[in-house]
Amino acid sequence: LPAPVNTSAFDRNPLITPDGLSLFITGFGRGKGKGGSVIGFTRTERDKDFGSPKFVDAPLNHDVPNVPDWISPDGRVMLITEMSTPPFESKLYTRRTKQDPFGEGQSLRAPFKPTRPWISPDGNRLYFHARGIEGSNGEIDIWMSKRIPVKAE
pLDDT band at 113 (very low <50, low <70, confident <90, very high): low
Percent of the chain with pLDDT over 70: 85
Tell me the average pLDDT across 21-50: 81
Mean pLDDT of 48-71: 81
Q: Who has greater pLDDT, 17 or 131?
A: 17
Count, residues in the chain: 153
Q: What is the mean pLDDT of residues 32-50?
A: 81
| Res. 152: pLDDT tops 70 | no
The predicted pLDDT at position 3 comes to 87
pTM of full prediction above 0.75: no
b/e code 65-88 from CB counts within 10 Å (16+ = b): bbbbbbbbeebebbbbbbbeeeeb
The rounded mean pLDDT for the chain is: 80
Q: Find the mean pLDDT for residues 107-127.
A: 74
* Section 34-49 average pLDDT: 84
Question: Taken in order 75, 42, 79, 31, is the CA torsion positive or negative?
Answer: negative
Structural contact between residues 113 and 129, judged by C-beta atoms closer than 8 angstroms: no
Mean pLDDT of 105-133: 75
Position 24: which residue type? F
Evaluate if residue 149 carries a pLDDT over 90: no
